[in-house]
Amino acid sequence: MSSYTLLYYYYLHTSTSYRRTFGSPHPIAMSSYSSVPSHMPLSGGRYMRSLSPVVASRSSSYHQQRSRSSTQPPRLSYDKVDFTLAEAINQEFLTTRSNEKAELQELNDRFASFIEKVRYLEQQNSALQMEINQYKGQQQHGQPNRASELFQDELREMRRQMDAIGKERDQYQLERDNLAEDLALLKQRLDEEAQKRADAENNLAAFRKSAKRNTDALRQAKQEANESRRKVLHTCLCYCLFQNEALLRQMREMEDQFGNEIANYQDNVGRLEDEIRHLKEEMARHLREYQDLLNVKMALDIEIATYRKLLEGEENR
């Protein structure tokens, strides 16, 4: 009886240290086993035999998930930050963190359930021990009973179950130690990810400030370029207007000059036309005079020829 009491206090100490380390168990898991009646018999240890494969399978599945989740996430390169990749990694970390929290909560519930089952078995053991003592007392007073043998068998079965529970307790303690290591690793990873996130946020803030400065500088450069372009265009416009006025003035001067020259040329043309007409009249008069002289000459030649013939005729006589 004293060994079971020591085991019971050991489980109480283990559960108390577990609560200090991992927090109180889930209320649903506590109520699911505290509602088991104290008078429920344990026949043949079937309950504990059915419990061990489930615990072993869940423990192996947890270690497989823990080994998969313990892979290091890809590290960010701050030389060239890709914010889409940072958001994806952050989302993946949050998902992994949520899954790990759910797994820790499930293991907490299972461990609390295990403690409740141990308490329940301790109560059953105490009740059976009291009944055994009662039957032993009756047997000592000369009242042998066949039920004592059954209780001895049940006691041996209970001891076997307690040995199985001790093995499972050791397994749960090992899992608890592994969970403590995993929790420390997760806290370290959480601190690292928080530091990375803080660095990424600082870099993002610096990039935003730099982008704002570059945007302001670009806007100022555009304003200066527009102002310079406006000044250049204004200067070009003024120069073009000045050139236009100068060309218009020069064109008017040339029009006046050419107008005067055209007038002079027209006067010269009129004068030349008058001279040509006068020369034509004189030439016609000279032609008429020449024609008259030619006619007179021809008449004189005829007379001279006639007189010559007459003289030659006179000489021949």
Question: What mean pLDDT value characterizes the chain?
Answer: 73
Coil, strand, or helix at residue 277?
helix
Q: Which residue do the tokens 């990424």 mark?
A: 200
| pLDDT exceeds 90 at position 92 | no
| pLDDT exceeds 70 at position 171 | yes
Lowest mean pLDDT among 34-43, 64-73, 124-133, 264-273: 34-43
Write out the two tokens for 15.
């559960």
* CA distance linking residue 251 with residue 72, whole number of Å: 87
Residues 39-69 have pLDDT tens digits of 333 333 333 333 333 334 444 444 444 444 4
Q: Which of the four pLDDT bands, split at 50, 70 and 90, describes residue 1?
A: very low
* CA distance linking residue 25 with residue 109, whole number of Å: 6
* CA distance linking residue 125 with residue 129, whole number of Å: 6
| 162 touches 4 (CB < 8 A) | yes
Lowest mean pLDDT among 151-155, 263-267, 271-275: 151-155
The reported pLDDT for the residue numbered 26 is: 39
Q: Which of the four pLDDT bands, split at 50, 70 and 90, describes residue 139?
A: low
Q: Which of the four pLDDT bands, split at 50, 70 and 90, describes residue 123?
A: confident
Write out the two tokens for 149.
């043998």
| 100 touches 186 (CB < 8 A) | yes
Residues 187-214 have pLDDT tens digits of 888 888 889 888 988 998 898 899 999 9
Please report, for the chain, the start and end positions of each structural domain, with discontinuous segments joined by +: 2-219
Burial label for 25, CB within 10 Å (0-12, 13-18, 19+), is: buried
The reported pLDDT for the residue numbered 81 is: 44
Residue in 20, 8, 34, 37 with CA at minimum distance from that of residue 108: 20
Mean pLDDT of 68-76: 42
| 108 touches 22 (CB < 8 A) | yes
More confident residue, 143 or 102: 102
Neighbours of 112 (CB within 10 A): 23
* CA distance linking residue 239 with residue 303, whole number of Å: 91
The reported pLDDT for the residue numbered 83 is: 57
Q: Which residue do the tokens 């050791």 mark?
A: 170
| 121 touches 162 (CB < 8 A) | yes
This prediction has a pTM of 0.29
Mean pLDDT of 143-156: 69
Mean pLDDT of 1-28: 44
**Residue 38, CA distances (Å) to 33, 128, 157, 225 in order:** 11, 11, 18, 91
* Total residue count of the chain as it appears in this document: 317
Coil, strand, or helix at residue 26?
coil
